């Protein structure tokens, strides 16, 4: 009998040398069922299939007012936010309780329709599959936008497809960047991507950064060992952390993303990835892009999630101001 070696174990995902992947039946953050009843904060959610071939899906969160059926002449009034969840490209989904709660809160507090994307995960599906799937979500929205309002998914009938924002945390923040890069090579009309929210984006390199070294003595909830395992699981076979999917894009690369919507980069100073995230913001600025950095000095990688880091003095004011500014561009 051939010995089977455990290659890694991170956030309930075990990968073995024979190719097997075992995912825990009791994840760190259990799944929440979709609830289209609008009983909590008048926000409902439902799951939709985006690609029958791959089984790719998304969870739509919408204010009750966005789902009221109007006549065909009705114009869209609710901005759309496409959300890409974190988990190192390896773990979790839109149903995971922390992402479910965040997206529901955004829809409630900002009055937006939120489409939270379930891209396929590594190590079964290594990068660039997550990027490919995420772009499929934009193409699905494009197909909805091209229909008459009465023929769309009812929850998108009152969507304003000329005000689309992309948001993601951790791995999802990295996806946001790559969606901006891919969108310039494809005709997504009538979609108009107005702004980007890369929150604690997930970048790395073989050489250790200042915040990675610091984390060895002052660890965050997300550890350096977690990051290394995520990258081993998700990067193409035979590559390392200097691969283009991992490293911070250079200003020379970013300048080619033209036009690029404005970016609001959100980071926590205690995050193991903090140095890379600030470097990303600096490269955006070097490339002449419209970018703003919002830094929380006492928060780590899970800064938006009170379930992990406790309640914080955080309002949606920065996001609302950013959305309002970008909506007029």
Q: Which one from 160, 220, 226, 271 is the annotated catalytic residue?
A: 271
Q: Which one from 170, 183, 211, 263 is the annotated catalytic residue?
A: 170
Q: State how beta strands 291-296 and 6-10 pair.
A: unpaired
Contact 168, 176 (CB under 8 A): yes
What sign does the dihedral 169-41-317-192 (CA atoms) show? positive
Angle formed by the axes of helices 317-327 and 97-110, nearest 10°: 60
Tokens encoding 135:
């772009």
DSSP state of 287: T
Assess whether 271 carries a catalytic annotation.
yes
Q: What are the helix (H) ranges across the chain? A: 97-110, 129-145, 171-183, 210-215, 224-234, 251-254, 274-286, 306-309, 317-327
Assess whether 134 carries a catalytic annotation.
no
Q: Identify each DSSP E strand in 24-181 by its residue range.
A: 43-51, 56-63, 78-84, 113-118, 159-169
Q: How many CA atoms lie within 13 A of 41 on its CB side?
A: 15
Q: How many CA atoms lie within 13 A of 82 on its CB side?
A: 33
Distance linking the first and last C-alpha atoms of the chain? 64
Please, which residues have CB within 8 angstroms of residue 277's CB and are 6 or more apart in sequence?
Answer: 200, 201, 203, 265, 267, 271
Distance (Å, whole) CA 321 – CA 6: 47
Contact 127, 265 (CB under 8 A): no
Contact 264, 197 (CB under 8 A): yes
Assess whether 73 carries a catalytic annotation.
no
DSSP state of 96: B
Q: Any idea which residues carry the catalytic annotation?
A: 170, 271, 301
């Amino acid at each position: 009998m051939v010995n089977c070696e455990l290659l890694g174990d991170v956030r309930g995902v075990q990968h073995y040398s024979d190719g097997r992947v075992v995912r825990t039946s009791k994840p760190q953050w259990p799944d929440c069922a979709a609830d289209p009843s609008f009983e909590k904060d008048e926000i409902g959610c439902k799951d939709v299939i985006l690609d029958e071939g791959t089984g790719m899906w998304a969870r739509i969160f919408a204010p009750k007012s966005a789902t009221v059926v109007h006549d065909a002449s009705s114009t869209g009034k609710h901005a759309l936010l496409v959300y890409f969840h974190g988990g190192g490209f390896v773990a979790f989904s839109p149903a995971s309780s922390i992402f479910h709660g965040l997206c529901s809160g955004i829809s409630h507090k900002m009055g937006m329709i939120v489409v939270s994307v379930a891209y396929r995960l590594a190590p079964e599906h290594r990068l660039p599959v997550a990027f490919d799937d995420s772009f499929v979500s934009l193409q699905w929205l494009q197909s909805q936008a091209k229909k008459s309002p009465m023929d769309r998914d009812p929850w998108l009938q009152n969507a304003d497809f000329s005000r689309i924002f992309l948001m993601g945390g951790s791995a999802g923040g990295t996806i946001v960047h790559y969606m901006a890069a891919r969108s310039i090579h494809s005709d997504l009309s009538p979609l108009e991507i107005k702004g980007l929210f890369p929150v604690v984006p997930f970048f790395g390199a073989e050489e250790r950064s200042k915040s990675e070294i610091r984390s060895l003595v002052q660890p965050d909830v997300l550890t350096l060992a977690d990051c290394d395992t995520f990258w081993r699981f998700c990067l193409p076979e035979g590559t390392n952390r200097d691969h283009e999917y991992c490293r911070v894009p250079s200003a020379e690369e970013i300048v080619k993303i033209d036009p690029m919507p404005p970016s609001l980069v959100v980071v926590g100073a205690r995050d193991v990835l903090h140095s890379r995230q600030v470097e990303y913001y600096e490269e955006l600025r070097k490339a002449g892009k419209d970018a703003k950095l919002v830094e929380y000095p006492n928060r780590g990688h899970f800064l938006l999630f009170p379930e992990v880091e406790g309640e914080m003095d955080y309002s949606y004011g920065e996001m609302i101001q950013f959305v309002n500014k970008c909506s007029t561009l």
